[in-house]
Amino acid sequence: MGQLRADEFDRFVAARWSALLHLARLFTGGDRHRAEDLLQEALVKLWFAWPKVAKQAPEAYVRKVLARAAARSARRRWWGEHPVDQLPDPPEVADETAAVDEQNRLEAVLALLPARQRAAVVLRYYQDLPERDVAEVLGCPVGTARSLTARGVARLRQLLAEAEPVE
């Protein structure tokens, strides 16, 4: 790859890193480490496809790779660390705002959704993609994407109603 293309790639990654990492965190249910691994995997694939997608829609390409890789990794069994209900010695934060608490609450509840439902909800409402694009990213018919989104939103509403707000 020529130096010019490498520079374009570097600029794209530098400009979109934060947003793509946040998207990856939403796909992985808030697990920052898995999100970083997922994003790194997606960016490696983008690097090899860069000459083809650079002038078209590199962010859409990364979004598709992230969604598919997240769904694939959710199907794998993981025998390593397991989340616990209560963390030991939680750090004290002096200035937590209600918005951050609500975002954390939403991310925690979002993590409870099955991977494809979570991906559909994130793509449709966080990324604000039309149903057709959600279906394309997930590799399924529009009706299936619509159904996944509707079931995911219904389950989110139920879980949020059951869960207590973070204090």
As its CATH architecture, domain 3-76+98-162 has Up-down Bundle (1.20)
Measured CA distances, 32 to 6, 139, 140, 155 (Å): 27, 25, 27, 23
d(CA 158, CA 154): 6
Q: What is the rounded radius of gyration, in angstroms, for the C-alpha atoms of the chain?
A: 17
The pLDDT, as a whole number, for residue 103 is 83
Q: What is the pTM of this model?
A: 0.58
Domain locations along the chain: 3-76+98-162
Block means of pLDDT (10 residues each) for the chain, 167 residues, are: 77 92 89 89 92 89 89 65 68 66 86 92 91 93 95 92 67
